[in-house]
Every structure is written in C-alpha cells, then in structure tokens.
C-alpha cells in the first residue's frame, strides 16, 4: 500500500509526540502548512510538509546550539 499523502492532525501529533492542542497551535500559527477539506473543514497536512517542518526544526535546534556554544566561548 502506498504511503498516505495527507495526514490528519491526530497523525501529525502522533508523529511529533505532541498533544492535539499543540498540533492545532502549530497549524494555526502557520508554522506547519495545512489545508481544510470537506464540509466540516477537517485539517490535513501533506506528509512532505511535515517532513519539511521536522527538517527545519532540526536546523533551528542546531543553530540555537551553535549560538549557545559561541556565547559560552565568549564568557571564557
């Protein structure tokens, strides 16, 4: 079976190991692009967008660590 193109917010929360309210918050903030589908406006996140979000999070974390390390070096 082919991998799903779109994920529910519950799926996203499971992948990221975060609560449904945290998942909704990152979608609502625009950090994680999503679309609304169907009559009830159910949110869906494209799997590739989730992977981009995760990759970007790793890059932000690495940049933060580099910045902290350089600040510690300045204090010595």
Q: What is the pLDDT of residue 43?
A: 97
Q: Where are the domains of the chain?
A: 6-75
User: Which CATH number fits the domain 6-75, given the four candidates 1.10.1660, 3.30.450, 3.30.750, 1.10.10?
Assistant: 1.10.1660
Q: What is the pLDDT of residue 15?
A: 98
Q: What is the pLDDT of residue 16?
A: 98
- pLDDT, averaged per 10 consecutive residues of the chain (76 residues), comes to 89 98 98 95 97 97 92 71
pTM assigned to the model: 0.82
| DSSP track, the chain | -PPPSEEEHHHHHHHHT--HHHHHHHHHTTSS--EEETTTTEEEEEHHHHHHHHHHHHHHHHHHHHHHHHHHHHH-
Q: What is the pLDDT of residue 75?
A: 67
């Amino acid at each position: 079976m082919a991998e799903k193109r779109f994920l529910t917010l519950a799926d996203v929360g499971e992948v990221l190991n975060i609560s449904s309210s945290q998942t909704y918050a990152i979608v609502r903030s625009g950090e994680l692009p999503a679309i609304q589908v169907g009559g009830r406006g159910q949110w869906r996140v494209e799997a590739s967008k989730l992977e981009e979000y995760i990759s970007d999070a790793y890059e932000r974390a690495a940049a933060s660590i580099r910045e902290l390390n350089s600040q510690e070096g300045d204090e010595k």
